């Protein structure tokens, strides 16, 4: 029913940029807060960025602050993560997630998209 589909991952050299997209279906998109998370091999999943249904953002993870930007287009049911000045430490599977407004638990998750940053 509810599906979140990420795209835009790939292999990039350090210092390069990627733009991830996550398109949602099966839900009223504007009624959901959206988030990006990532998980590196052997590591736990970590928070990257989030954005409310209104378009307001929460504080970014310290590791990506100043380099990544989250945005959303409610008309397209899509949330984006613009990643600039990528570093090898950014290598991970990136996941899109959705939660109902004013709740703390993410209800739905995408399948993830691989981002690999070479030195």
Cα 112 to Cα 104: distance, rounded to the nearest angstrom: 21
Strands of 68-73's sheet in order across: 3-7, 18-25, 78-83, 68-73
Beta bridge partners of 117: 12
Phi, psi of 100 (to 5 degrees): -65, 145
Q: Mean pLDDT in the chain? A: 97
Could you give the percent of the chain with pLDDT greater than 70? 100
Q: How far is CA 104 from the centre of its chain?
A: 17
Q: Is the pLDDT of residue 102 over 90?
A: no
Cβ atoms of 97 and 28 closer than 8 Å: no
* 82-100 pLDDT, tens digit each: 999 999 999 999 999 999 9
- By C-alpha distance, which of 113, 89, 96 is closest to 37? 96
Q: How far is CA 29 from the centre of its chain?
A: 15
Q: Is the pLDDT of residue 113 over 90?
A: yes
């Amino acid at each position: 029913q509810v599906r979140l589909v990420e795209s835009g991952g790939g292999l990039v050299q350090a210092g390069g940029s990627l733009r991830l997209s996550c398109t949602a279906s099966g839900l009223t998109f504007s009624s959901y807060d959206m988030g990006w998370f990532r998980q590196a091999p052997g590591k736990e999943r970590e928070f990257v960025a989030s954005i409310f249904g209104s378009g307001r953002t929460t504080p970014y993870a310290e590791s990506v602050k100043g380099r990544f930007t989250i945005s959303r287009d409610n008309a397209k049911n899509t949330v984006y993560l613009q990643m600039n000045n990528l570093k090898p430490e950014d290598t991970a599977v990136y996941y899109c997630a959705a939660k109902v407004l004013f709740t703390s638990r993410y209800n739905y998750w995408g399948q993830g998209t691989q981002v690999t940053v070479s030195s």
